[in-house]
Structure 1
Amino acid sequence: MNVFTAVVFIVLISLAYSKNIKYCSTTCPSEYRPVCAEIERPRRGRCTFFNLCVLMRRQCRRPIEVWRVMLTGTCPLSSNFCDRFMEING
Structure 2
Amino acid sequence: MDPLPVVEFPAVPFDPELKVPAVDLVTAGRPAAWIDDDHTPRGLRWAAARPAPTLLVSIDPAVGWTRSDVDRVLDWAARL
TM-score exceeds 0.5: no
Q: Which has the higher contact order (CA 8 A, sep 6+)?
A: 1
TM-score tier after normalising by the smaller chain length: under 0.3
Larger radius of gyration: 1
Q: Give the strand-richer structure, 1 or 2.
A: 1
Q: TM-score, normalised by structure 2?
A: 0.24
Q: TM-score, normalised by structure 1?
A: 0.23
> Higher helix share goes to which structure?
2
